Amino acid sequence: MSLLRITHSLLASYMYATDSESPDSAWDRFLWVLNREKEPDTPAMKEGRRFEEEVTRVAAGYTSEDAFATEFGRLLDGGQPQVRLEKRLNVSGLNFNLVGVADFIKAGVIYDIKRVQRYEYGKYQRSTQHPAYFRLIPEANTFVYLIHDGKYNYQEHYLRADTSPIEPYIMLFTEFLKTNKLFDIYQEKWEEK
């Protein structure tokens, strides 16, 4: 039986593309992700990577001119950066390899660094990221999004006890693909050999 790779990014792209309030471009982005095509870098993506790299440098003991990166970097001091994780799951009779990379893990807490254009509290409440990472790291009980919008730093905390499991999201995703005749593309592009 085949093993299908699944990631939070793929699930998030699907959820955004199927949200009635999303722009039409969200569907194109989902098809890029589904087909594992390289998405063109946007200025926002580049700035996000730059900010995350700066936070990681501060966490490693370096100084920074960026006060916002310094604040998050000091919080993450002593944490383990860029932890690659995998977990095999069976959902609705299909075998999946759930894969993710945690920005930081420290004292049983998973941290993810976000650089956004605009922020409102609760932005990540419906995200598949913390359910996925709680499944990947069973010892962790807290997931913290560290968010910077260009003016301020924010934090959103999620507890394992208050988080739905990832499996129902995966089930809905695969049902959607089958209904919309996209499952063959997923199987071809995401099957692990």
pTM: predicted TM-score of the whole model, two decimal places: 0.93
pLDDT grade, residue 1 (50/70/90)?
Answer: low
Give 132-171 as a DSSP string.
HHHHH-TT--EEEEEEE-SS-EEEEEEEGGGS--SHHHHH
Backbone angles phi, psi at 184, to 5 degrees: -60, -40
Q: Per residue in 69-112, pLDDT tens?
A: 999 999 999 999 999 999 999 999 999 999 999 999 999 999 99
Rounded Cα distance between 178 and 176, Å, is 5
| pLDDT tens-digit map of 12-32 | 999 999 998 899 889 999 999
Helix (H, G, I), strand (E, B) or coil at 86: strand
CA distance 75 to 73: 5
Tell me the average pLDDT of the chain.
Answer: 95
Residue pair 98/77 in contact by the 8 Å Cβ criterion: no
Q: Which two tokens stand for residue 193?
A: 């050999």
The domain 3-192 is placed in CATH, from the list 3.90.320.10, 3.40.50.150, 3.40.50.300, 3.40.50.720, at 3.90.320.10
- Residue 101 near residue 82 (C-beta atoms within 8 A): yes
Q: Model confidence over 106-133: pLDDT tens digits? A: 999 999 999 999 999 999 999 999 999 9
Q: Parallel, antiparallel, or unpaired for β 109-115 and 142-148?
A: parallel
Q: Within 10 Å of residue 34's Cβ, how many Cβ atoms?
A: 18
Q: Is the pLDDT confidence value at 40 over 80?
A: no
Domain ranges of the chain: 3-192
